[in-house]
Structure 1
Amino acid sequence: MSSKNINIDFLYNDLNEDLYKLYRNSSYLAIDTEAMGLIHGRDRLCLVQICNEFKKTSCIKIELNTNSSPHLKALLENEKITKIFHYARFDLAALKCNLGINTKNIFCTKIASKLARTYTNKHGLKDLINELLGIELDKSAQSSDWGSNEDLTINQLDYAANDVRYLIEAMHKLKVILQRENRYELAKKCFKTVSVHADLDILRFSNIFEH
């Protein structure tokens, strides 16, 4: 299936063998997820988007009662590949809670933005991509019934693909700023804690680091 802007591989429940082998040889993978809502354990995972440094993009629809995706799991747990997310905390929790995936070696562009772009309080993906890359993302399909039994619409596919299509470029630009401002090592320490926060979110703990 192709979208109006870019070619997108659309699959169900997992990557096929050919795509898995292609992505396995990537240095970077941009990842995003769509769910029925924001509460893990109640709101199921519906879609996983992947894009590599060559903009090879796939959208994987996770059908009802699917609880494992072996190729996805192998990719995301591969420590040799850097996985880039925007607000990784949510995605890591969704992937673990729904598919048993313990994602390794992450870069979160939202954390990086907050550490690098201290001159603004606008750290959403749309603002970030607009400033760093001069690209205006269309967010009109953000609130969608991603769990519908029907195929995704072209607008939904474009929205989903765009959420990963530019993350790797944004990561490189944020890394330059972080290194220039001597905050990259701090950012890497922060990235290592995201899985802990995701685990706490799954168990619905909140504010445990407060006094």
Structure 2
Amino acid sequence: MKTLTTTTELAEFCKSAAEYPYITVDTEFLRERTYYSKLCLVQLAVPSEDEDSAVLVDPLAEDMSLEPLYELFKNENVVKVFHAARQDLEIFWVEAQVFPKPLFDTQVAAMVCGFGEQVGYETLVRKICKQGLDKTSRFTDWSRRPLSDAQKTYALADVTHLRRIYEFLAAELQKTNRNHWVAEELCILTDSATYDVRPEEAWRRVKTRTNSAKFLAVVKELAEFREAYAQQNNVPRSRVFKDDALIELASTKPKSPSDLGGSRLLLREARKGAIAEGILKAVKQGVQCPADQLPKLDNSRDKLKVNPALADLLRVLLKSKTESSGVAAKLIATSSDLDQIAAGERDVPAMSGWRFEVFGEDALKLCEGKIALAAKGQVVRVVAL
């Protein structure tokens, strides 16, 4: 098990990796104590039987820069293969403003190939590689050094089996002509907006029991301050104050440090210093928010005039398409998509791209009375009218 601890070693490996059609990649990181993930380990493997075809890269080593890896990520002659890539990509985007291209995500590909929704790596190893995984090192502190042999073995397994999984899924996609389906999904993963957390929009994630615009104005200011403070200081937002404390503050609307002292849910550290000042300022701004700038929840979906019978028919059609295509239902269309279509809406994900090929086109015909559904035994068939 080779561990690369210098930039020179990494550059040599990346130079040789550039000669292969693909490379498998995984990361280990910590996020419990920080806002942004702390990269602790990178695992790489090339399609070779060579003993050093899979390596560990230690980004915490003193003489290590990941620049050679980022250059390999930009090499479009080498496919970069991940499983459930979103968190990995976020790390590389935050660290170096780079996305691996071309990208292949085996979790996305597996959903398209009929393995179900958000299938796990362990499941793919078992079903495709016919092997099991030792997960005893799953919960570990990857920032501690030295790494044990058990940790290294666990980490390398995340890229060595991935080679066989990639080759199997790539062949299936080629056989079924579904490569463009996966490509559409991956466009979202390589869009920087996917990882752009805007503090002014943070309030939308806070669950409240009231839709009062004046109350939401205070929630919005508090959530924006918390998000910005967490980003700037690289601490989890819950370490600033939790959602229940935010709701309490929006309700009590403290005006002074002594008012903060009466909070039941606010952390002790948040009752003084910069956080306390930020809270009081945010509450004041929320209370003084002009009437024409008060935030409002998007209730447009609640006002949809859904045809319930048509919505039920669309669910039957979706089940039929799921069975015939082998693609997970939630990947094709959500329950919300179906209700929107039944209400006459057409600007939904299920009505564009590969989803339109699989489901949307017939869903539109069903809404227009151009097709009907018929049951024959356990199978639901589409019948043209």
Question: Which residue in 1 is equivalent to 2:39?
Answer: 45
Let me know the Cα RMSD of the aligned residues: 2.9
Distance (Å, rounded) in 1 between the aligned partners of 2:141 and 2:122: 21
C-alpha distance after superposition, 1:137-178 (max 9, x if no partner): 111111111111x21110110011000001121112112333
Higher mean alpha-carbon deviation, 58-67 vs 79-88, is at 58-67
Residues 61 and 179 of structure 1: is their aligned pair in 2 closer, same or farther, counting only changes over 3 Å?
Answer: same
Aligned partner of 1:22: which letter? S
Distance (Å, rounded) in 2 between the aligned partners of 1:102 and 1:65: 24
Residues 12 and 107 of structure 1: is their aligned pair in 2 closer, same or farther, counting only changes over 3 Å?
Answer: same
Question: Which residue in 2 is equivalent to 1:172?
Answer: 167
Does the 8 Å CA contact 1:34/1:47 hold for their aligned counterparts?
yes
Higher mean alpha-carbon deviation, 52-61 vs 8-17, is at 8-17
> Once the 2 structures are TM-superposed, how far is the Cα of residue 64 of structure 1 from its aligned partner?
7.8
Normalising by structure 1, report the TM-score: 0.82
Candidates 6, 20, 23, aligned match of 1:26 = 20
Question: Which residue in 2 is equivalent to 1:135?
Answer: 131
Distance (Å, rounded) in 2 between the aligned partners of 1:68 and 1:77: 16
C-alpha distance after superposition, 1:77-114 (max 9, x if no partner): 11110010001111111122234433210100000111
1:36-75 correspondence to structure 2 within 5 Å: 36-37=30-31, 41-54=35-48, 56-63=53-60, 68-75=65-72
Residues 21 and 139 of structure 1: is their aligned pair in 2 closer, same or farther, counting only changes over 3 Å?
Answer: same
Question: Which residue in 2 is equivalent to 1:4?
Answer: none
Structure 1's consecutive aligned runs of 4 or more residues displaced over 6 angstroms after TM superposition are 64-67, 204-208
Residues 38 and 200 of structure 1: is their aligned pair in 2 closer, same or farther, counting only changes over 3 Å?
Answer: farther
Question: Which residue in 2 is equivalent to 1:11?
Answer: 4
Aligned partner of 1:9: which letter? K
User: Is there any run of 5+ residues in structure 1 with no aligned partner, and where?
Assistant: 1-7
Distance (Å, rounded) in 2 between the aligned partners of 1:52 and 1:125: 18
Distance (Å, rounded) in 1 between the aligned partners of 2:8 and 2:134: 26
> Once the 2 structures are TM-superposed, how far is the Cα of residue 122 of structure 1 from its aligned partner?
6.5
Candidates 93, 104, 118, aligned match of 1:107 = 104
Give the number of the structure whose alpha-carbon radius of gyration is greater. 2
Does the 8 Å CA contact 2:21/2:77 hold for their aligned counterparts?
yes
Higher mean alpha-carbon deviation, 50-59 vs 182-191, is at 182-191
Q: Identity of counterpart residues, as a percentage?
A: 23
Aligned partner of 1:160: which letter? A
Distance (Å, rounded) in 1 between the aligned partners of 2:7 and 2:185: 29
Residues 122 and 97 of structure 1: is their aligned pair in 2 closer, same or farther, counting only changes over 3 Å?
Answer: closer
Aligned partner of 1:133: which letter? C
Looking at secondary structure, tell me which structure has more strand per residue: 1
Candidates 116, 123, 130, aligned match of 2:113 = 116
Distance (Å, rounded) in 2 between the aligned partners of 1:98 and 1:186: 29
C-alpha distance after superposition, 1:11-32 (max 9, x if no partner): 2264614322211211110000
Higher mean alpha-carbon deviation, 26-35 vs 66-75, is at 66-75
Other structure's SS at 1:152 match: coil
Does the 8 Å CA contact 1:67/1:100 hold for their aligned counterparts?
no
Other structure's SS at 2:190 match: helix
Residues 104 and 121 of structure 1: is their aligned pair in 2 closer, same or farther, counting only changes over 3 Å?
Answer: closer
Other structure's SS at 2:136 match: coil
Residues 131 and 15 of structure 1: is their aligned pair in 2 closer, same or farther, counting only changes over 3 Å?
Answer: farther
Looking at secondary structure, tell me which structure has more helix per residue: 2
Does the 8 Å CA contact 1:116/1:177 hold for their aligned counterparts?
yes
The higher relative CO (CA closer than 8 Å, separation ≥ 6) is in: 1
Does the 8 Å CA contact 1:93/1:202 hold for their aligned counterparts?
no
Normalising by structure 2, report the TM-score: 0.47
Other structure's SS at 1:166 match: helix
Aligned partner of 2:60: which letter? E
Aligned partner of 1:116: which letter? C
Whether 1:79 and 2:76 are equivalent positions in the alignment is yes
1:147-186 correspondence to structure 2 within 5 Å: 147-148=143-144, 150-186=145-181
Other structure's SS at 2:128 match: helix
Other structure's SS at 2:57 match: strand
